[in-house]
């Protein structure tokens, strides 16, 4: 093993970092990113739900697109709020529901007075390319949940992006599921051993969480600029 001075890293230096639902909260995201200070050898997974509720949805997407251009190993998952955003652009009935219930006004306001007309094509392209899940040797990263007795590549889209966390059974693969989607009102991650939920409700007064998957350590930031660190 060579030293860090030679820019070669051992396996133990590589981190898998999962970041929970952002919901238009740009400042907590920036503060969290600065705190974790990702390196090219790290693997970063964003768990989806980038838009709605928070005041800077456009800014969040701009920021994520900029991160995508850097020399980093980043996977962006898609959440149910991205799905609803797409549907609302195409269908007025979905749009009305999105605006009344889902936090859509904050998303549109962040783009300017033109509403959907002001959304850049690059943002739609970014969201369109977000993945449904990421599977590694030991974990499955997914926005919402999994059916325990269904292989990952056969999961229904509804399960992957809509099903609440609840008390999921261990997945048949034996791998640990890491997800977001179900806001933890305690503002700390839920850890069942075989399943971990890291949506800690930053869009409604909670925290944005980043989990170091290998160690269980996590960092959290909020709109007040608070930073806290703990272990699941």
Catalytic (active-site) positions: 81
The DSSP-derived string for 71-129 is S-EEEEB--HHHHHHHHHHH-HHHHHHHHHHSSHHHHHHHH-TTGGGGS-HHHHHHHHT
Sign of CA dihedral 176, 152, 145, 14: positive
Q: Categorise residue 24: left if φ over 0, alpha if ψ from -120 to 50, beta otherwise.
A: left
Q: 13 by DSSP, 3-state: which?
A: helix
Burial profile 53-89: b = 16 or more Cβ within 10 angstroms, e = fewer: bbbbbbbbbbbbeebeeeeeebebbbbbbbbbbeebe
* Cα distance between residue 77 and residue 144, in whole Å: 10
Q: Categorise residue 205: left if φ over 0, alpha if ψ from -120 to 50, beta otherwise.
A: left
Closest CA to 91 of 116, 118, 56, 123: 116
């Amino acid at each position: 093993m060579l030293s860090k001075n030679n820019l070669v890293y051992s396996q133990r230096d590589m981190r898998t970092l999962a970041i929970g639902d952002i919901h238009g909260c740009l400042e907590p995201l920036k503060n969290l990113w600065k705190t974790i200070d990702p390196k090219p050898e790290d693997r970063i997974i964003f768990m989806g739900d980038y838009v709605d509720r928070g005041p800077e949805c456009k800014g969040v997407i701009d920021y994520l697109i900029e991160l995508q251009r850097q020399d980093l190993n980043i996977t962006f998952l898609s959440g149910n709020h991205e799905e609803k955003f797409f549907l609302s652009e195409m269908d007025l009935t979905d749009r009305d529901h999105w605006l009344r219930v889902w936090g859509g006004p904050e998303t549109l306001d962040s783009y300017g007075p033109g509403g959907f007309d002001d959304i850049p094509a690059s943002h739609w392209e970014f969201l369109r390319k977000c993945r449904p899940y990421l599977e590694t040797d030991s974990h499955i990263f997914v926005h919402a949940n999994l059916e325990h007795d269904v292989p990952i590549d056969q999961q229904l889209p509804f399960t992957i992006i809509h099903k609440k966390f609840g008390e999921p059974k261990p997945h048949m693969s034996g791998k640990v599921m890491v997800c977001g989607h179900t806001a933890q009102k305690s503002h700390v991650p839920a850890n069942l051993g075989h399943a971990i939920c890291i949506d800690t409700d930053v869009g409604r007064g909670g925290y944005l969480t980043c989990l170091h998957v290998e160690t269980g350590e996590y960092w959290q930031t909020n709109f007040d600029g608070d930073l806290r660190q703990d272990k699941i």
